[in-house]
Amino acid sequence: MTPRRVGAMFKAAADGAGVPATFHALRHTFAVAMLRFLQREAQTHPDLNPLLALQVLMGHADLATTAIYLRVVATDLSIIESSVDDLYAALL
């Protein structure tokens, strides 16, 4: 299955549910939430490098691509976390 096919399937599901969403936005949301989680985990596991772990999870060849998410997390974590919490609560 290709990434393009996964994106098309996600779009069809989102359209069918009447939800304005893209696979890219879902991937971005996952990356930001996972980076924050990995940063918290690194506090008790000093051998964990959150950015390198996220790079592997995202499949990025270049660490600079993954580093973009650092800027998002650094902007305002409380806004991001509350937005994700609100989105999750709305889905339940």
The helices-and-strands tally (H runs, E runs) of the chain is: 5, 0
User: Cα–Cα distances in Å, from 39 out to 44, 45, 70?
Assistant: 10, 10, 10
Looking at per-residue confidence, does 77 or 45 come out higher? 45
For 47, the token pair is 């051998």
Per-residue model confidence (pLDDT) at position 75: 65
Query: 4-39: per-residue pLDDT in tens?
Result: 899 899 999 999 999 888 888 888 889 988 988 898
Query: 49-83: per-residue pLDDT in tens?
Result: 999 999 999 999 999 989 888 877 776 666 667 77
How far is 8 from 1, CA to CA, in rounded Å? Answer: 11
How far is 34 from 3, CA to CA, in rounded Å? Answer: 20
Per-residue model confidence (pLDDT) at position 77: 63
pTM score: 0.69
